[in-house]
Amino acid sequence: METKWLEDFISLVETNNFSRSAALRHVTQPAFSRRIQSLENWLGTDLIDRTSYPTRLTPAGIVFYEQALEMLAQINGARDMLRSKRAAAQTSIDLAVPHTLSLTFVPKWLTALEQDFAPISSRLMALNVHDAVMQLVEGGCDLLLCYHHPRQPVQLDPGRYDMLVMGRESLRAYARCDKNKTPEFTLPGTKKEPLPFLSYTNNAYLGRMVELILADAKNPLHLDPHYETDMAEGLKMMALEGRGVAFLPESAVTRELKQKQLARADGGAPEWEIEMEIRLYRERPSAHRRGKAIVERLWEFLEQQQKDSGRKRRVAVSER
């Protein structure tokens, strides 16, 4: 049995809705349902009465709910106790970050912090967005850095988690440059000759951003999928080989654009791009879970840094 199955079950009891609990647990509804079924299989009995709506517990489910709460409390209590003993002497910051940001944003950000804040010892976990979020939710990291878009939000309870906007990132279409330093492929393509498309897998966050671009485009794009992966870096390497058009974060192609290896394949049209926020999250300290002193000092520094930056912008605007 996995502890996340207990957390899934407790969430389902609290919401009485598979779809709502799946969203809160950052998984698809089919995956959430499979995890509930895995728990039932492990226990050897049905916990959910699937003949009724809204969702209702079976007699066994009612009994197990209290047991699940108690088991999860004991597990989390033991973990918190051990972590608090370790954290007392720990000065390293654990970061959960999606793969792309770990390669583009994080190195420059940590360098700037070394200069403006203090030397930092950090441990970075490069993951997909879902797993990075779950690291924070399950207490596996101190800070989460990730993309955010209002139509594909990271659903973290603002009553439990603090958030800072660290920057913005544009997602655009790029293709390899030809001998004349112009893109070998240019949107939108045609029905007769669709463009070779280098795409993200369905479960990739950036893939969902591309879906929004395609859905919102006033002029339809004619694309022929040739290759897919969940990592932007993999798509960039394929684009550099001239294999097709790829939608990539701007920060991931800065060097390639300067060196004329890649060029925008959208002709500069804003309808084929989307902007995301880069957000930093932490679990808000509480009497039950105080967190690390180094994380608290860093958060206070970042908050003050943003206040100062906002004040300077307001002064600059007023002087125009």
63-90 per-position pLDDT tens digit = 888 888 888 878 877 776 666 655 544 6
pLDDT at 22: 87
Statement: residue 313 has pLDDT above 90:
no
The CATH number for 152's domain is 3.40.190.290
Same-domain pairing of 189 and 282: yes
pLDDT at 205: 92
Give the separation between CA 220 and CA 93, rounded to whole angstroms. Answer: 45
Same-domain pairing of 120 and 155: yes
- Beta-carbon neighbour count of residue 241 at 10 Å? 11
229 Cβ contact partners less than 8 Å away, ≥ 6 residues apart? 200, 201, 235
| Domain-ending residue, one of 89, 116, 147 | 89
Same-domain pairing of 280 and 133: yes
**Cis peptide preceding 249, ω within 30 of 0:** no
Same-domain pairing of 85 and 107: no
Same-domain pairing of 235 and 146: yes
Whether the pTM exceeds 0.75: the reply is no
Beta strand 195-200 pairing with 143-148: unpaired
Same-domain pairing of 84 and 138: no
Same-domain pairing of 48 and 155: no
- The helix/strand count (H/E) of the chain reads as 11, 11
Domains contained in the chain, number: 2
For residue 274, the cross-strand partners are 171
Q: Where are the beta strands (DSSP E) in 159-298?
A: 161-176, 195-200, 223-229, 245-249, 262-264, 274-283
Range of the domain at 77: 3-89
For residue 42, the cross-strand partners are none
pLDDT at 89: 42
The CATH number for 45's domain is 1.10.10.10
Give the separation between CA 226 and CA 212, rounded to whole angstroms. Answer: 20
Same-domain pairing of 53 and 145: no
Query: Mean pLDDT of all residues in the chain?
Result: 88
- Retrieve residue 166's tokens: 């660290």
User: In the chain, how long is the greatest CA-to-CA distance?
Assistant: 72
Please answer whether residues 76 and 4 qualify as being in contact, where contact means their C-beta atoms are separated by less than 8 angstroms: no
Condensed to tens digits (0 to 9), the pLDDT of residues 25-34 reads: 888 888 889 9
Which is nearest to 301 in space by CA: 158, 107, 112, 84?
A: 112
Same-domain pairing of 248 and 133: yes
Collapsing DSSP to helix, strand or coil, 204 comes out as: coil
